[in-house]
Amino acid sequence: PVLSARRQLVVNADDFGFTPDVNAGVVEAHRHGILTAATLMANGDAFDDAVRLARETPSLDIGCHLVLIGGRSLVTGKPFPATVAQLLRALARRQIRLYDELAAQTRRVIASGIRPTHLDTHKHTHLAPPVLEAVASVARDFGIRWVRRPFDFPMGALGGPRLTRLVNGALGLLRGRVQRVLAAHGCRTVDHFAGFQLTGRLGCGELTALAAELPEGSTELMCHPGHLGDALRNAPTRLKESRERELAALIAPEVREALERHSIELVNFAGLS
Q: What is the pLDDT of residue 142?
A: 98
Residue 93 buriedness (CB in 10 A; 0-12 / 13-18 / 19+): exposed
Integer Cα distance of 262 and 212 in angstroms? 7
Query: What would the pLDDT profile of 186-235 be if each residue is shown by its tens digit?
Result: 999 999 999 988 988 899 999 999 999 999 999 999 999 999 999 999 99
Burial 186-212 (b: 16+ CB within 10 A, else e): ebbbbbbbbbbbbbbebbbebbbebbe
* pLDDT of 166: 59
Name the region of 52 (left: φ>0; alpha: ψ -120 to 50; beta: rest): alpha
pLDDT at 255: 97
Q: How far is CA 7 from the centre of its chain?
A: 20
DSSP state of 154: P
The pLDDT value given to residue 197: 86
Walk along the chain (273 residues) in steps of 10 and give the mean pLDDT of each run. Answer: 74 98 98 98 97 97 97 95 93 93 98 97 94 97 96 75 60 79 96 91 94 95 96 91 96 97 96 80
> CA 32 to CA 128: how far, in whole Å?
36
